[in-house]
């Protein structure tokens, strides 16, 4: 298990966020820019964050909801290719689904995604490209993300940290609370039709 401490998070998705990015630059200066290509395994039966990135399968769990914030902790990082045992005993329980396709002894990213597609209509494979603009403000981190979800463009803003009061204070100061707290799994369920919910703010 990853030993990183649980972190509180307030994340929103919208087409644009008005002055929030400007406010972050005013408070924290120039951002650190990172790009990544990721694949999310999104299950109708689960709210666990399961993704493939950089040769790893990464699982993150929500462990609490407090004052509108979500607290998440890293649960597991598994290198690819993935063993059949790891798929059966660790990944599928996180997704909350069985698998019916024949499972080889080892599964690379392509084989894993193919097996899930063949076995369950309740799991969707979602390709994401993220360009992240990261800001650090004392004990709190924030980011503005340009994200392509299966090619569809959205923006996301997130404030996170280990102290709930600090995260809530900055989220309120930025005006982020008005957009609602929507984590990646919930957002991807909306985009892919696994869940019905109001559209994101324009």
Q: Per residue, what are the HEC states of the chain?
A: CCCCCCEEEEEEEECCCCCHHHHHHHHHCCCEEEEEEEEEEEECCCCCEEEEECCEEEEEEEEEEECCEEEEEEEEEEECCEEHHHHHHHHHHHHCCCCCCCCCCEECHHHHHHHHHHHCCCEEEEEEEEEEEEEEECCEEEEEEEEEECCEEEEEEEEEECCHHHHHHHHHHHCHHHHCCCCHHHHHHHHHCCCCCCCCEC
**pLDDT digits 0-9 by tens, 8-65:** 999 999 999 989 999 999 999 999 999 999 999 999 999 999 999 999 999 999 999 9
7-192, CATH topology level:
Hypothetical Protein Pfu-838710-001 (2.40.320)
- Give the pLDDT score at 197: 75
Domain ranges within the chain, ordered by starting residue: 7-192
pLDDT category at 101 given cuts 50, 70, 90 is confident
- Give the pLDDT score at 100: 78
- Give the pLDDT score at 1: 52
**pLDDT digits 0-9 by tens, 142-151:** 999 999 999 9
pLDDT of 176 > 80? The answer is yes
């Amino acid at each position: 298990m990853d030993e990183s401490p649980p972190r509180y998070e307030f994340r929103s998705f919208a087409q644009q966020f008005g002055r929030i990015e400007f406010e972050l630059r005013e408070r924290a200066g120039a951002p650190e820019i990172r790009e990544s290509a990721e694949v999310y395994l999104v299950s109708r039966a689960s709210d666990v964050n399961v993704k493939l990135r950089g040769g790893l399968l990464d699982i993150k769990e929500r462990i609490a909801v407090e004052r509108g914030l979500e607290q998440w902790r890293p649960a597991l990082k598994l290198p690819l290719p993935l063993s059949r045992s790891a798929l059966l005993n660790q990944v599928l329980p996180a997704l909350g689904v069985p698998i019916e396709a024949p499972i080889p002894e080892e599964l690379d990213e392509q084989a894993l995604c193919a097996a899930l597609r063949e076995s369950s209509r309740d799991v969707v494979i979602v390709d994401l490209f993220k360009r992240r603009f990261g800001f650090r403000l004392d004990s709190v981190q924030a980011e503005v993300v340009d994200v392509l979800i299966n090619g569809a463009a959205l923006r996301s803003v997130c404030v996170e940290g280990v102290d709930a009061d600090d995260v809530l204070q900055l989220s309120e100061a930025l005006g982020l609370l008005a957009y609602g707290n929507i984590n990646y799994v919930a957002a991807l369920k909306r985009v892919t039709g696994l869940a019905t919910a109001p559209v994101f703010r324009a």
